[in-house]
Amino acid sequence: MSSQVQLLDASPFEPSHRRRVNAAAQARTSSPGDGGLPIELSGVFKAFGQREVLKGLDLTVEAGEFVVVVGRSGGGKSTLLRLVAGLERPSAGRVAIDTQAVAGPQRAARMMFQDARLLPWQTVIGNVGIARGPQWRAKALEALTAVGLADRAEDWPRLLSGGQRQRVALARALVGRPKVLLLDEPFGALDALTRVEMHQQLTGLWREHRFTSILITHDVAEAAALAERVLVLREGSLALDLLIPHNKQRRAASEAELAALQARILAAV
Amino acid sequence: MAMAKKRALSFRLPDGAAAWILPLALIVGWEIAADAGLIAARVLPAPSAVMRAFWATWRDGTLAQNVAVSAGRALQGLLIGGLLGFALGIVNGLWRPAETALDSSLQMLRNIPHLAIIPLVILWFGIGEEAKIFLVSIGVLFPVYVNTHHGMRTIDPAFVEMARVYGLGPFALFWRVILPGALPSVFVGLRYGLGIMWLTLMVAETISASSGIGYMTMNAREFLQTDVVLLGIVIYALLGKFSDTITKLCERSVLSWHPSYAKTVAERP
């Protein structure tokens, strides 16, 4: 599988195998906040009946890295995320968070879904603090403040707009201070303006807390805007593993740079 | 939006009054027809005669006593049958083996018209209190069971998955996700059950009883007191309406999150 990745490395961007060493060094020096945990997939196969969704995936995500996975539907993106979340077990191979094999849903990893999945019979704050525990109200309110919805704490979720619902879902994901945040196309159904707002909010929170993030999207522009590293999944294997220099260095990319990036991602998809 | 709401409200007020026009007109017409001798008092006594019967039975205490006896039987049957149906619905909804073992048998029993077993019940219990409470319990059990079970089974699996990712244990999953999600359906079952409760009780008391509203009307029939018979029917209607109103109020407060019970004023932009 790794040979396929290397095939695509004739580019102005940094090749993936060289990058891995650099990123590890960088992550250690430039990660304030709570920090994230590294994720490692080695030789992961996943089949549903006869259909092989992931075919021997090897992948290392550094602690605190922001990875975006792009690919066509049915390419195995969601399955990859669900494996890391512990919602599915690999048919073969190993999925590990911080060298611990994933055997089920765990505290360190939180997931945001395509739909907000807010319980309609819980208030907004009840949804954010759904896991309860000591001082859950204070913690939930803090998370709601971080996404700018503290004033809606006592409302029913049905009174919120789609974007607000996803922000509540984001607050719910953040309330336990996760080390790993898994995002399964959470902004797919939002309008363009709301989406940009959500991007900014998410990037801001990620810079503050430095949780390891894996975001799934089919939107190449979204990938170029958010990712430090873009992975393209095609038919169950990695078709591209690409560093995004401007996000890594936290500078705005030029139009030409963005266009080149997007073209390259699109070509791999 | 505000305009539309205000208009709907201003239509609703005369609507409430309008609902009473037809029944009032019928009663007035009936009274006039009875007073004019168009309807024989033995077939259908005038509303005023029914009122007099009410007054007479109220003064000698038989009405209050019979209502109390009937209501007591109804309540006991409701408690036994309702709780049993609710418990069976929960167990079968949560635990596959129980469902496999019990559901098809319950569905079979459910299809027996429960009034058809009255002769058997009389053989078992005689015409004592147990017979009536048993019949009411059986009548209430099935609608509550079927709807509780259905409510449990139709919880959105996405919510259950979310709860797993967010670390809810089985206990929290039941109390925070499954039970509140099933409650609207449980209430449907309860309201069906209440209807069947009064129906069963009326039949049971008419066939074999020495007290209660059903007995009062059957006794009156023997003495050709059509006004008392009619009074009994009116009392049943009032009791049915009363129990339904109480359930509706409970529903409204328990399911205040549900869009159907939304308070129109609480909505914010």
Question: How many whole angstroms separate alpha carbon A113 and alpha carbon A104?
Answer: 17
Separation CA B190–CA B197 (nearest Å): 10
What secondary structure letter does DSSP report for B178?
I
Q: Give the number of C-alpha atoms closer than 13 A to the C-alpha of residue A172, restricted to the C-beta side.
A: 32
Q: How confident is the model at residue A91 (pLDDT cuts 50, 70, 90)?
A: very high
A156-180 confidence digits (pLDDT tens): 999 999 999 999 999 999 998 899 9
User: Which of B177, B258, B267 is closest, CB to CB, to A159?
Assistant: B267
Q: What is the pLDDT of residues B52-102, one digit of tens each?
A: 999 999 999 999 999 999 999 999 999 999 999 999 999 999 999 999 999
Q: Is the pLDDT of residue A269 over 50?
A: yes
Report percent pLDDT > 90 for chain A: 51
> A189 near A115, Cβ under 8 Å?
yes
Q: What is the mean pLDDT of residues A184-198?
A: 89
Whether the pLDDT of residue B3 is over 80: the answer is no
Option in B162, B183, B259 nearest A158 (CB): B259
Output B263 or B200, whichever has higher pLDDT.
Answer: B200
Q: Which residue of A has its CA nearest to B156?
A: A117
Q: What is d(CA B101, CA B87) in angstroms, rounded to the nearest whole number?
A: 15
Band of residue B269 on the pLDDT scale cut at 50, 70, 90:
very low
Domains in chain A: boundaries: 2-108+179-268, 117-177
- DSSP character for A185? S
What pLDDT shows up at residue A7? 37
Question: For residue B267, which residues of chain A lie inside 8 Å, CB to CB?
Answer: 159
Q: Does A111 touch chain B (CB under 8 A)?
A: yes
pLDDT of residue A264: 86
CB within 8 Å: B257 and A158 = yes
pLDDT recorded at residue A255: 78
Number of H helices, E strands in chain B: 11, 0
By C-alpha distance, which of A197, A185, A140 is closest to B166?
A140
> Mean pLDDT over residues A84-111, rounded?
91
The H-or-E segment that residue A156 falls in is none
Q: What's the rounded Cα separation, in Å, for the pair A173 and A183? A: 10
Average pLDDT of chain A is 84
Where do we find the tokens 């999945």? A117
Beta bridge partners of A61: A39
pTM: 0.80
How far does CA A229 lie from the centroid of its chain? Answer: 11
Residue A120 contacts B where some CB pair is shorter than 8 Å: yes
Tell me if the domain spanning A2-108+179-268 has CATH number 3.30.460.90: no
Confidence of residue B171 (pLDDT cuts 50, 70, 90): very high
A120 to chain B: closest CA residue: B257
Nearest CB neighbour to A119, from listed B159, B183, B268: B159
Task: Place B133 in a pLDDT band, splitting at 50, 70 and 90.
Answer: very high
Average pLDDT, chain B: 88
Residues A123-153: pLDDT tens digits? 999 999 998 989 999 999 999 999 999 999 9
The residue assigned the tokens 């609507």 is B15
pLDDT of residue A219: 86
B182 half-sphere exposure, CB direction, 13 A CA radius: 29
B interface toward A at CB cutoff 8 Å? 158-159, 161-168, 172, 176-177, 180-181, 183, 255, 257-259, 262, 267-268
Phi, psi of A211 (to 5 degrees): -75, 150
Min Cα distance B250 → chain A (Å) is 15
**Best residue in A130, A172, A177 to probe B by mutation, most B CBs within 10 Å?**
A130
**A171 vs B: CB within 8 A:** no
- Number of Cβ pairs closer than 8 Å across A and B? 57
**Band of pLDDT at residue A261, cut at 50, 70 and 90:** confident
- pLDDT for B13 equals 54
**C-beta of residue A65 within 8 angstroms of C-beta of residue A212:** yes
Cα separation, B46 vs B5, whole angstroms: 43
Q: Is the pLDDT of residue A16 over 50?
A: no
Q: Does residue B160 have a pLDDT over 90?
A: yes
What pLDDT, on a 0 to 100 scale, did the predictor assign at position A19? 43
* Closest alpha carbon to B201 in B117, B110, B118, B136: B136
Best mutation target among A114, A117, A151 (most B Cβ atoms within 10 Å) is: A117
What domains can be seen in chain B, in order of their start residue?
50-266 (1.10.3720.10)
- Strands of the sheet containing A180-184, edge to edge, are A109-112, A180-184, A212-217, A66-70, A229-234, A237-243
User: Tens of pLDDT along A31-75?
Assistant: 444 688 999 999 999 999 888 899 999 999 999 999 999 988 878
Give pLDDT tens digits for B21-52: 888 999 999 999 988 888 888 888 899 999 99
Annotate A203-247 with DSSP letters as a single string. HHHHHHH--EEEEEES-HHHHHHH-SEEEEEETTEEEEEEE-HHH
Residue of A nearest to B264 (CA): A159
A92-97 and A229-234 strand pairing:
unpaired
Percentage, residues of chain B above pLDDT 70: 91
What DSSP line would sit under A80-125, residue for residue? HHHHHHTSS--SEEEEEETTEEP-S--TTEEEE-SS----TTS-HH
Which residue type is seen at A206? W
